Amino acid sequence: MFFDVTPIFLNRFFLRKMRYKNIFYFFATQKKQRKMSTFTQTTAACIFELLEKTGIPTAFITQLSETEMEKKNCKLIPLEVVARRYAVENFIRQKSEEDELPYRFHSLRIEFFSKPTDTIPLACEESKISLPENIEMNQIKELARKSFLVLEGACNNLGYRLIDFKFEFGITDDGTLVVADVLDNGTWSLQTDAPFNIPEQTLVLWRGSESDKLPDVPILAGLKVEMPVISGHKKTVLVTKELERLHTLYPEGGVIIALVGMSNGLGPILSARTEWPLISVCTTANEFPEDVWSALRMPSNVPNATMLDAKNAVLCALNILGQKNPAIYAHRRLAIERLDEAV
């Protein structure tokens, strides 16, 4: 992957392990301008496609050419919305050493700028901006937060930190609030094909019997839920065959939750035969606390993790899968940041 970044716009993207190219767009030749326009357009299309895959509404329809894309008809809201993860450049004067990390906001900081762009964020957004009917500032803020978190998860997978990002929003003919434009892609352009993708992973809810209850799992892009019911004690050969089938179906990986009561043979058998993370949940621990011991004392080369609460086991599995899947990352990060708002 390759990035062109102008020195005057370094606040948009903080890159690890890479140096910035000293390219000034306003002195570019016509040939170079077209090349950079192609990079910019490709980057914008990648971003829109990623947001669409994760269920975020956008105005994007398709990329028509290297320099053109088709969008839905929509009325732009006269706001530029900036989501910030790190405090650098425009937010504070950068005085740190090259290797010093910038300050990180645990919860995203969302700022609104009226158009033409103000240099100071609006202190009271609703008093200055006339919003379309049935659209509230909190809806725009929430859509900006979700969009940024998806992009942040994708950038994390590439080894980059997304510092901040600027969005524009619009209202389609049917009244839907959508991401209408991404305003920063001209400052960090992808030269190669889209690196942003949603991997197809699985969360396996493996039960020893039909009587073991299933926990709820959210519907998220790229996440497939498998629910085999095969006893580790009674059908060990079938267990290993089913495990091989899952490995074949999901080359991009998964997490297994073994939901078993009484003696846990399933969790240890699976964990010894797979490189996927495995979490055992003792479903009978409340009624028979001694049952949990069969999921705790493991021999060597049996990396079986154990939890008592199936809901927490699902959250732990999503945290693991979210390291590769930006949709799952955004789902979990949004829930974490909402804890701050509830205080």
Question: Are residues 269 and 176 part of one domain?
Answer: no
Question: Are residues 220 and 172 part of one domain?
Answer: no
Boundary-marking domain end, from 164, 187, 210:
187
Boundary-marking domain end, from 136, 165, 187:
187
Q: Which domain holds residue 74?
A: 7-187
Question: Are residues 266 and 292 part of one domain?
Answer: yes
Instruction: Please indicate, yes or no, if residue 334 is contained in any of the structural domains.
Output: no
CA distances from residue 3 to 18, 37, 39, 117, 198 in whole angstroms, order as listed = 9, 13, 9, 26, 21
The pTM (predicted TM-score) of the whole model is: 0.75
Instruction: Please indicate, yes or no, if residue 337 is contained in any of the structural domains.
Output: no
Identify the band that residue 14 occupies on the pLDDT scale cut at 50, 70 and 90: very low
Give Cβ neighbours of residue 136 (< 8 Å, ≥ 6 apart).
none
Helix (H, G, I), strand (E, B) or coil at 284: coil
Q: pLDDT digits over 168-201, tens only?
A: 999 999 999 999 988 655 445 444 444 678 899 9
pLDDT of residue 1: 29
Helix (H, G, I), strand (E, B) or coil at 8: helix
pLDDT of residue 342: 59
Asked if the model's pLDDT at residue 232 lies above 90, the reply is no
Q: Report the domain count for the chain.
A: 2
Instruction: Please indicate, yes or no, if residue 84 is contained in any of the structural domains.
Output: yes
Instruction: Please indicate, yes or no, if residue 215 is contained in any of the structural domains.
Output: yes
Question: Are residues 273 and 165 part of one domain?
Answer: no
Instruction: Please indicate, yes or no, if residue 343 is contained in any of the structural domains.
Output: no
Contact 327, 153 (CB under 8 A): yes
Question: Are residues 178 and 97 part of one domain?
Answer: yes
CA distances from residue 128 to 114, 133, 332 in whole angstroms, order as listed = 8, 15, 33
Instruction: Please indicate, yes or no, if residue 196 is contained in any of the structural domains.
Output: no
Give the CATH number for residue 297: 3.40.50.1970
User: What mean pLDDT do residues 48-58 have?
Assistant: 93
Question: Are residues 176 and 305 part of one domain?
Answer: no
What are the beta bridge partners of residue 82?
111, 166
Give whichever of 235-249, 262-276, 306-320 has the largest mean pLDDT: 306-320
User: What mean pLDDT do residues 133-144 have?
Assistant: 90
Question: Are residues 182 and 225 part of one domain?
Answer: no
Asked if the model's pLDDT at residue 329 lies above 70, the reply is yes
In the chain, at which residue ranges do the beta strands (DSSP E only) sit? 60-65, 68-71, 74-76, 79-87, 103-114, 164-172, 177-182, 201-207, 223-226, 254-260, 278-282, 305-307
- Check residues 267 and 161 and name the one with the higher pLDDT: 267
Q: pLDDT digits over 87-124, tens only?
A: 875 544 434 445 566 778 888 999 988 876 555 556 44
pLDDT of residue 119: 55
Tokens of 135: 């659209």
Q: pLDDT digits over 251-282, tens only?
A: 899 999 999 888 888 999 999 999 999 999 99
Place of tokens 């994007």: 60
